[in-house]
Structure 1
Amino acid sequence: MFDEDGSLDPVLKVILWLILGLAISKVAWKWLTQDAWPWVRDDVGGWFSEDVWGWLMGHPWWFALIILGTLVLLCFVVFSDRGGYVAYGDAPDESDDSPVESSDSEPGTAAPKVLTFRMKQLAAMSADGFEQACADLLARDGFQRARRIGGSGDLGADVVAWDDDGDKIVLQCKQYSGTVGSEAVQRFNGTAVPEHHAQVAVIVALNGFTRPATDFARRHGIVLVGRPELKRWAHGEHLYTVVKEEHSPA
């Protein structure tokens, strides 16, 4: 009945909307055609039952097109996805790896809306879009200078940022249709600290990890964000709260 993000099944939404529309129409028609509204019953009712309904029954193809168009319009409204970001631009290219202090917001200013993503949005993104979404979530959580750096020759680092303690966090983002295996985690382990000087090394996988990958990551201090953790992070929780790291903000 409900999808992974807690939304009502779209097909069921359409059925419920149709039932609701028919019920409202029936109640409204009954009310309008009571004795208190004889002109509606006689004039409007006669016009609809004889002229409109007669024309529709005499033109079945037009009747079918009207019904089909109504259903398409209703499906478009129900299925349209309105949460999170839709498109992403490239993050600024900055060569300096030192963290930058963020300034406090001015008193009296309204707090910005919390950025969230649905899992189906993350799955539908391009690889670059998925990386940018992870950078945006880090920025939402208050990480400094969160930016996407993934590309050719990135040596496993897709997103970098710094936390409140000045520790550098390096993310590798895997939007695979299947689980991430141990070999990928081993390769990232070989570059995260030696090449990127990460204090916190994280792999984010849309569809989770194999058991050998999880065991290797635990032995070597690699933080894994699988599908359940990614869902909580994308839905508004702080990354450090999700992974329960000792680096979590005070």
Structure 2
Amino acid sequence: MTGREFEVYCREILQEAGWHAALTPGSGDQGADIIAEKDGSRVVIQCKFYNGTVGNKAVQEAYAAAAFQDAHHAVVVTNSVFTKSAHQLAHKNSVLLMHHADLPKLELIVTSGAGSR
């Protein structure tokens, strides 16, 4: 699977969960791969399909994309795991870190207030 195929896969999961989810064009998106909306919540998602760990750069990209896109939440989703440093940075900046298998639960997570900007 390529990175773009992973983005499409994540979008499909979100759509099946009732989100209006759109892929960004890939350039000029300021770090957003998917913009998802549901019940007034706007979420920017950075997708990382990696064999290794996902680090701070992904968190920084999601944080910047959320500000640029006027989103309520920033999320980094991966098929892999996050570094300790990425967890620390995400916590300080209210960025949600998720495994793609947890995407169907995104609504429950954001309505709980986690990752609110």
The normalised TM-score by structure 1 is 0.42
Determine if the alignment matches structure 1 residue 181 to structure 2 residue 55: yes
Residue in 2 that maps onto 1:246: 112
CA distance in 1, matches of 2:111, 2:91: 12
- Structure 1: 4+ residue segments shifted above 3 A: none
1:203 and 2:79 matched = no
**Equivalent residue for 2:44?**
170
Partner residue in 2 for 1:137: 13
Aligned with 1:217 (options 78, 90, 98):
90
1:247: Cα distance to partner?
Answer: 5.3
The answer as to whether partners of 1:132 and 1:147 remain within 8 angstroms in 2 is no
Residue 238 of structure 1 deviates from its aligned partner by 2.9
Deviation at 1:162, TM superposition (A): 0.7
Point out which structure has higher relative CO (alpha carbons under 8 A, 6+ apart).
2
1:190 alignment partner in structure 2: 64
Q: Scaled by the length of structure 2, what TM-score is found?
A: 0.84
Q: Highest Rg: 1 or 2?
A: 1
Question: In structure 2, do the counterparts of structure 1 residues 167 and 131 end up closer, same or farther at CA, with 3 Å as the change threshold?
Answer: same
**Structure-2 change in CA distance of 1:162 and 1:232 (3 Å):** closer
Which residue identity does 1:231 align to in structure 2?
A
Instruction: Tell me the percent identity.
Output: 35
Measured in 2, the distance between the counterparts of 1:232 and 1:199 equals: 19
Alignment partner of 1:203: what SS? Answer: strand
Segments of structure 2 that go 5 or more residues without pairing to the other structure are none
Give the total of aligned pairs: 114
Instruction: Note the residue ranges of structure 1 that are not aligned, 5 or more in a row.
Output: 1-124
The alpha-carbon deviation at position 206 of structure 1 amounts to 1.3
Using the alignment, how far apart are the partners of 1:244 and 1:169 within structure 2? 9
AA at the equivalent of 1:128 = R
The whole-number CA distance in structure 1 between the counterparts of 2:45 and 2:102 is: 17
Query: Where does residue 154 of structure 1 map in the other structure?
Result: 29
CA distance in 2: counterparts of 1:185 and 1:155, whole angstroms: 12
Bigger proportion of residues as helix: 1
Letter of the aligned partner of 1:246 in structure 2? S
Measured in 2, the distance between the counterparts of 1:247 and 1:232 equals 16
Take 1:217 and 1:182, find their aligned partners in 2: how far apart are those partners? 8
* RMSD of aligned residue pairs (Cα, Å): 2.1
CA separation in 2, counterparts of 1:150 and 1:177? 24
Contact 1:179 1:208 in 2 (8 A): yes
- Cα 1:207–1:191 change in 2 (3 A) is same
Structure-2 separation of matches of 1:172 and 1:184 = 7
Judged with a 3 Å threshold, the aligned counterparts in structure 2 of structure 1 residues 188 and 244 are, in CA distance, closer, same or farther, namely: closer
Matched with 2:101 is 231
Aligned to 2:54, what secondary structure does the other structure show?
A: coil
**Compared CA separation, residues 155 and 244, structure 1 to 2 (3 A):** closer
The structure-2 alpha-carbon separation of the partners of 1:140 and 1:218, relative to structure 1 and needing over 3 Å to count, comes to same
Counterparts of 1:244 and 1:162 in 2: how far apart (Å)?
11
